[in-house]
């Protein structure tokens, strides 16, 4: 334990999953955390969130009430034929917890967000409860002075500023990053089907099985684009079946930006080659609710994540395509790194800039690798974690081919990695 530890005043700009994770991690590390959010939390988009072992382990370490998030524990990754729904590949996860020490959870975004918010602000639990301030839109940041000015005229000063304000991050620009990005060739529609409707209407019951199910994602019959893909998974304790419906961007009806959208008609989803989709899947989509468009972008990695007393994390730092199901986990890992680096085990609370440099050293290569692998999986579903282990004789060969594997994601030991890097700094 460091004898020089001091409590930091932390400003987390953005109250999404990444921001709340950072708030919890830094609260647990003994700091005073204020969370600044641009809008009320009742507009969180309803969709499933994958939280593999490499994310779940930190929720446990932070003593988050995971059952309160109403998880579904995944047991299979299933690849289906587009036209018939026939099972093509079935990657089984029954030994997943035994091998990796944690289960693979599926959450509903709103459930996960609510529990993290509760954990951050509750009077119970280790650390001082975080404060939440809404209607605070970041206007400018002085990373050297440690100040943030908001559009409502409020200026605050902090020892550490965490930009967790998403893919359109204002903090990112304020620390000197200009995104190199382009529209993805693939666009997504998110929607949900209530399990009670599945049962009432006699739709396929495997829809709420503890599995992520995939259709498409590879070139198909009659020239069907590889950009057609369906991802279906249960969440919210089995009450909701969540869909991500992908198609070529040029064929979609929605290209606008923004934080909230009007619900789209089901016809906007069932267009193009969806007329040849597995009829059981089509029946589910026809009875969907909360249908929202989601425009996707491919970002090149940024050359830095930190500047002075400010850093970025999650989608602000490494926005990625969703095809590795690692977006939330990588944001959680970012938060975990900050919590460890600025804990009483090390001396970085007395030199925040140096601590943030270490944060970038620890997190940027790994998150960038996942970001790159997510683009590859856009082009070929067989590049997706799990399926990479099925399309090569063994995990070592898959890794040698540059593919992202479950071993690489779940075998990573962040505490040890940070200890190694601190030792190098001490020896330098």
d(CA 398, CA 388): 6
85 found inside a domain: no
**Placement of tokens 């929720």 in the chain:** 59
Structure tokens at 424: 């190098």
- Of the residues 246, 272, 298, the one at which a domain ends: 298
* Pick from 343, 355, 348, 338: nearest CA to 126: 343
CA distances from 1 to 5, 6, 246 (A): 8, 12, 49
Residue 41: the pLDDT is 65
pTM for this prediction: 0.94
386 and 362 part of one domain: yes
Least confident span in 54-68, 199-213, 268-282: 268-282
154 and 285 part of one domain: no
Chain-centroid distance, C-alpha 237? 20
pLDDT at 354 over 60: yes
93 found inside a domain: no
Confidence of residue 259 (pLDDT cuts 50, 70, 90): very low
pLDDT digits (tens, 9 = 90+) for 356-410: 999 999 999 999 999 999 999 888 878 888 776 554 445 555 555 678 999 999 9
Check the CA dihedral 77-80-85-90 and report its sign: negative
Domain count, the chain: 2
163 and 233 part of one domain: no
236 and 155 part of one domain: no
43 and 158 part of one domain: yes
- The average pLDDT across 225-236 equals 94
137 and 24 part of one domain: yes
d(CA 101, CA 103): 7
24 found inside a domain: yes
> Residue 184: which residues within 8 A CB-CB, separation 6 or more?
249, 295, 296, 297, 298, 321, 378
94 found inside a domain: no
The three-state (H, E, C) secondary structure of 333-353, written as one string? HHHHHHHHHCCCCCCHHHCHH
- Of the residues 241, 267, 298, the one at which a domain ends: 298
40 and 188 part of one domain: no
Chain-centroid distance, C-alpha 392? 27
409 and 306 part of one domain: yes
pLDDT digits (tens, 9 = 90+) for 36-93: 998 776 655 568 999 999 999 999 999 999 999 999 999 999 999 999 999 999 989 9
Say if CB 123 and CB 109 are below 8 A apart: no
Q: Tell me the CATH number at 352.
A: 3.50.50.60
- Of the residues 298, 321, 339, the one at which a domain ends: 298
Residue 275: the pLDDT is 86
Residue 43: the pLDDT is 54
32 and 163 part of one domain: yes
155 and 42 part of one domain: yes
75 found inside a domain: no
13 found inside a domain: yes
Containing domain of residue 223, as a range? Answer: 182-298
210 and 265 part of one domain: yes
Q: Tell me the CATH number at 209.
A: 3.30.9.30
210 and 170 part of one domain: no
d(CA 383, CA 378): 8
d(CA 354, CA 309): 9
pLDDT digits (tens, 9 = 90+) for 213-224: 999 988 888 788
Confidence of residue 1 (pLDDT cuts 50, 70, 90): low
306 found inside a domain: yes
60 found inside a domain: yes
Tell how strand 155-157 and strand 240-248 pair up.
unpaired
Residue 151: the pLDDT is 96
Concatenating the DSSP letter of every residue in 41-54 gives: GGG----EEEE-HH
């Amino acid at each position: 334990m460091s004898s020089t530890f001091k409590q930091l005043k932390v400003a987390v700009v953005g109250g999404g999953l990444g921001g709340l994770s950072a708030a919890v991690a830094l609260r647990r590390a003994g700091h005073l955390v204020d969370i600044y959010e641009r809008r009320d939390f009742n507009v969180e988009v309803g969709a499933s969130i994958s939280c593999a072992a490499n994310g779940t382990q930190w929720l446990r370490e932070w003593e988050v009430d995971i059952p309160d998030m109403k998880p579904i524990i995944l047991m299979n990754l299933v690849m289906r034929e587009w036209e018939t729904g026939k099972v093509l590949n079935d990657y089984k996860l029954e030994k997943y917890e035994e091998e990796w020490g944690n289960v693979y959870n599926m959450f509903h975004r709103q459930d996960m967000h609510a529990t993290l918010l509760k954990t951050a602000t509750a009077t119970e639990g280790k650390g001082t409860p975080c404060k939440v301030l809404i209607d605070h839109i970041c206007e400018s940041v002085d990373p050297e002075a440690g100040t943030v000015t908001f559009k409502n005229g409020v200026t605050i000063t902090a020892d550490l500023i965490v930009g967790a304000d998403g893919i359109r991050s204002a903090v990112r620009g304020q620390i000197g990053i200009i995104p190199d990005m382009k529209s993805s060739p693939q666009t997504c529609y998110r929607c949900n089907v209530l399990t009670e409707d599945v049962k009432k209407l006699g739709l396929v019951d495997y829809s709420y099985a503890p599995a992520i199910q995939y259709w498409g994602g590879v070139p198909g019959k009659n020239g069907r684009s590889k950009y057609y893909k369906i991802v279906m998974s249960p969440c919210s304790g089995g009450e909701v079946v969540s869909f991500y419906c992908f198609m070529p961007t040029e064929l979609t009806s929605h290209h606008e930006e923004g934080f909230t959208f009007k619900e789209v008609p089901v016809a906007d989803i069932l267009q193009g080659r969806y007329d040849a989709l597995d009829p059981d899947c089509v029946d589910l989509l026809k009875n969907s609710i909360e249908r929202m468009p989601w425009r996707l972008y491919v970002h090149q990695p940024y050359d830095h994540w930190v500047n002075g007393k400010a850093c970025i994390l999650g989608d602000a730092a490494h926005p990625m395509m969703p095809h590795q199901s690692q977006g939330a986990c990588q944001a959680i890992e970012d938060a975990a790194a900050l919590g460890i680096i600025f804990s009483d085990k090390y001396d970085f609370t007395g030199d925040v800039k140096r601590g943030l440099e270490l944060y970038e050293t620890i997190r940027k290569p790994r998150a960038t690798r996942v970001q790159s692998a997510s683009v590859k999986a856009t082009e070929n579903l067989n590049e997706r974690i799990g399926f990479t282990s099925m399309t090569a004789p063994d995990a070592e060969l898959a890794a040698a081919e540059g593919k992202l594997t479950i071993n690489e994601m779940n075998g990573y030991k962040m505490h040890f990695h940070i200890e190694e890097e601190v030792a190098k700094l001490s020896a330098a």
